[in-house]
Amino acid sequence: MIGKDIYYAAQCLREGKLVSIPTETVYGLAANAFDLDAVLSIFHAKNRPTFNPLIVHCANVSQINDFVTHFSPNAKKLAAAFMPGPLTLLLPKKPNIHDLITAGSEKVAIRIPNHALTLELLQNIDFPLTAPSANPFGYISPTSAKHVAAQLGDKIPYILDGGECSVGIESTIVGFTEADKVQVYRLGGLSVEDLEKVVGNVEILSHSDDKPATPGRLLSHYAPKTPFYLGNITDLFAQYADKKVGILAFSQLFEGVVKENQIILSGQGSVTEAARNLFAALRSLDALNVEVILAEFVPNEGLGKAINDRLRRAAA
């Protein structure tokens, strides 16, 4: 069922049922973080391996203290600047956060989603919500209630419809070293430039593909079902000339392929707009019945870094 009733959503969650929640980044598949059976059912619904930990979502910064033992100075600065918002903090967990949520790690990932409906929902329950993106494991994240319904509708009692996600790409995940240096574990909806305005230089971790520090970093992720190639579209097109081709372009149509089989991420060349359109574009291209999808990188600035990261993973 799809609707906008936060009281019904709250009731489902209290009863240990799953609810898909809108956020500014992507839709989540939420359960009461303190109800282990409910948390387990998230892994089943998504077909997600339990070694992949989950983000805890709460309503405000002061609540975070209920779940973590230590809030470093830089973590506090980032929380003050960007929460609610597309930022997830990795902080040392209290025992009330179960190992199933952190996959055995001593650190819990916490975020406050910046979406009016979900914030209101969080204020109406007395437990935090743990939620991965509401897609089958490995597939493209959903940025509308319709996307969620299309793939997990039969497994989720209620989808809270909050419209289309305004940011469109998952949250930026940051952790902190012993010396409180900020490390980016996942590029996402908050740009590195914005982080650096508040805490100075940050380190962007790049992980080996077989043993990622954050399992969502598995190289093959966010993948459409159609073979997906990334690079210079003219070169790729020459290579796949004999195939029925779909194009994912940044700001301009590619000559030589019919318009109907092309999607432009941002006609005005904005990486922020491109981020908002990215996952819906991948889904649309995947539904086109083309044999291959050819895509190009976007400018590597602002949210462009996170877009290029997702494109690489879609192509892996």
The first and second tokens of residue 186, run together, are 């996942």
3-state class percentages of the chain: helix first, strand second, coil last, to nearest 5: 35, 20, 50
The answer to the question of residue 25 lying near Mg ion (CB under 5 A) is: no
Distance of CA 162 to the CA centre of its chain: 16
In the region spanning residues 197 to 236, those forming contacts with ligand TXA, defined by CB under 6 A, are 214-216
153 binds, among ligand TXA, Mg ion, none (CB under 5 to 8 A by kind): none
173 binds, among ligand TXA, Mg ion, none (CB under 5 to 8 A by kind): ligand TXA
* Dihedral of alpha carbons 299, 272, 269, 163, sign: positive
The answer to the question of residue 151 lying near ligand TXA (CB under 6 A) is: no
> Least separation, in Å, of the C-beta of 246 and ligand TXA?
25
Q: What is the C-alpha to C-alpha distance for residues 93 and 113, in angstroms, rounded to an integer?
A: 19
302 binds, among ligand TXA, Mg ion, none (CB under 5 to 8 A by kind): none
Nearer to ligand TXA, 14 or 107 (CB): 107
Kindly state the DSSP code that residue 259 receives in the 8-state scheme: G
The answer to the question of residue 102 lying near Mg ion (CB under 5 A) is: no
Task: Select the span of 35-43, 128-136, 240-248, 291-299 touching ligand TXA (CB under 6 A).
Answer: 128-136
Partners of residue 294 on adjacent β-strands: 229, 247
The answer to the question of residue 142 lying near ligand TXA (CB under 6 A) is: no
Distance of CA 44 to the CA centre of its chain: 19
The answer to the question of residue 133 lying near Mg ion (CB under 5 A) is: yes
Q: What is the C-alpha to C-alpha distance for residues 61 and 44, in angstroms, rounded to an integer?
A: 30
308 binds, among ligand TXA, Mg ion, none (CB under 5 to 8 A by kind): none
The answer to the question of residue 74 lying near Mg ion (CB under 5 A) is: no
| The residue to which tokens 């650096």 are assigned | 196
Q: What is the C-alpha to C-alpha distance for residues 218 and 288, in angstroms, rounded to an integer?
A: 26
Nearer to ligand TXA, 162 or 216 (CB): 216
C-alpha radius of gyration, the chain, whole number: 19
Structural contact between residues 278 and 310, judged by C-beta atoms closer than 8 angstroms: yes
Query: Interface with Mg ion by CB under 5 A: which residues?
Result: 133
Which positions touch ligand TXA (CB under 6 A)?
Answer: 23, 25-26, 28, 52-55, 88, 90, 102, 105, 107-109, 111, 113, 131-133, 170-171, 173, 185, 214-216
